[in-house]
Amino acid sequence: MSTALAQAFASETTLSWLLPQRTRRTARRKQMFRLELQTYVLPQDGLVFAADAGRDGLVGGCVALPPDRWQMPKTVDGRTAARWLWTLGTRLPRSLRALQALEEHHPTEPHYYIRWIGVRSGLRGQGLGSALMRPTLDRCDGEQMPAYLEASSERSAALYERLGFVHLGALELPEGGPRLWPMRRPPGG
């Protein structure tokens, strides 16, 4: 899953801003997704959905966190901290400030948080992203729970609007970071 998401977000503006411009950017993206899955998503009983493209690997994935489990852990062990430091390098302080900005604008009501949704380049525009989100949105509807995400582009925000998400304004990340579009989907879309 970390490889598929790293490929899906290879040219994404926010990750380009967060990760160092040095060599090994692909390895850093993979490591970032691996760390998020291992230390944040899976321990929080997060939802992980993927679509298999056969021998070509996964086409992408959707990662969501259940109600009241959307916040990243505040402490990590030494090995995990070292892995985050390698991944983010000198951008670690920037990442922490961006995370704080996201948390400050995050809704307080119980909701499912769609943390990542991505489809590999060349496979976009075929409805795969919507299909990857469908199990989470169905769960939201079944539990009468809203969904929340931050769109990283106007193109992706338009896709989410078609799925019933509503804009909550724009969010500028600190230090001249990119703009995100927080969006909420009420239960039932």
Q: How far apart are CA 63 and CA 98, in angstroms?
A: 19
Q: Is residue 140 pLDDT above 90, yes or no?
A: yes
Return the axis-axis angle of helices 78-88 and 92-105, rounded to nearest 10°: 100
pTM here is: 0.90
C-alpha 96/C-alpha 73 separation (Å) is: 12
Arithmetic mean of pLDDT over the chain: 87
pLDDT grade, residue 54 (50/70/90)?
low
Mean pLDDT, range 51-70, rounded to an integer: 81
E strand spans, 87-126 = 112-119
| 2-185: CATH number | 3.40.630.30
Q: What residues does each domain of the chain span?
A: 2-185
